[in-house]
Amino acid sequence: MFGYSQSATISSLTMTKLAASINPPTPDQLSFTLVGDPNNPNGGVATRFPGLSLPSLGITASGATPDNLYPTRIYTLEYDGVADFPRYPLNLVSTLNALAGAYYVHTDYLFLTPAQIDAAVHLTNTVGPTMTDYYVIRTEDLPLLEPLRALPVLGDPLADLVQPNLKVIVNLGYGDPAYGYSTSPPNVATPFGLWPEVSPLTIADALAAGTQKGIHDFGYHISHLDLPQITNGSSSPVGNPQAAPTTGPAAPMVSINTIIDDLQAANSQVANTITEVGAASYAALLPTADIANAAITSVPSYNINLFLDGIQQVANGDPMGFVNAVGYPLAADVALITVAGLLQAFVLVNAGQAIAHAITTPIG
């Protein structure tokens, strides 16, 4: 079976149901290949936030994809915010990059070449018996910089200037400045944490190397710029005194019928435009209300549960529970509120585009 994104989640649930059925298929009868898996044990957004439920948005975090029921291969693109979400969301840059990756990277699986698939990194540091192979396909450019790269002429040079150091910061959200994915066991369900245990000297060395690489890449691009050609759009001499004067077409005759027809058309245009603008405006209200509902009710409820988890740690003798009781809700909020803000931005952009289309497009 093949599963991509949400269908990978369905495949994960199917594994468990099939294995528990009266006459389950044997491992030599069934296998799975999953890409962009939201339930990827160490990176899937559904496993980074265990117990999260946002009913108003139709989102409920399910468990990790089983790793020892049927032969399975899971392929993940680096920085895919759906299947490769940062382990440390307090790193806002890393979280924003993952959200950009959900837009720019998550849709690329069907366009991968055989060479890219063959070059995938096989994660072999699994724990215990498993029938699942985990692969990461490296992503060369940070999705967070894609809008900058879209700028003409200087977009790519500027992106290459900042990318090496920015990549160090982004990768710290996964726990290692050298990798845009978690390097802990891939078959272990791994929730989000507070901060990585990385030596400041390691970070300093990575930033120093990144600065040198960024300057080198910027200089290379600047020296190889392909500037657009500036051409004169006129195909005839300008200001030629010999040119014969031209006359436009004769003005059309105006009649009472023409005036009435034009007034009727204008009336219909105004009415239809007002209707479309109104429809686009109130169409944005329902998703906005759903997002607000989640932010006001579900997210605080999740925070309370995280706080109580920390208190439970303290009650069981672990003083780090005090830190987690405060830190975990804060880390979750950074990720969830950022996601909510991005969703609301998409809603407003879509509504704005619909309104602009209604105003600028003639009817009929």
Over its C-alpha atoms, the chain yields an Rg (Å, rounded) of 28
Measured CA to CA, the distance from residue 259 to residue 262 in angstroms comes to 5
In the annotation, is 5 catalytic? yes
Q: Which of 28, 234, 40 is nearest to 131 (CA)?
A: 28
Dist. CA 194–CA 202, nearest whole Å: 19
Q: Which of 5, 11, 12, 94 is catalytic?
A: 5
Q: Which residues are catalytic?
A: 5
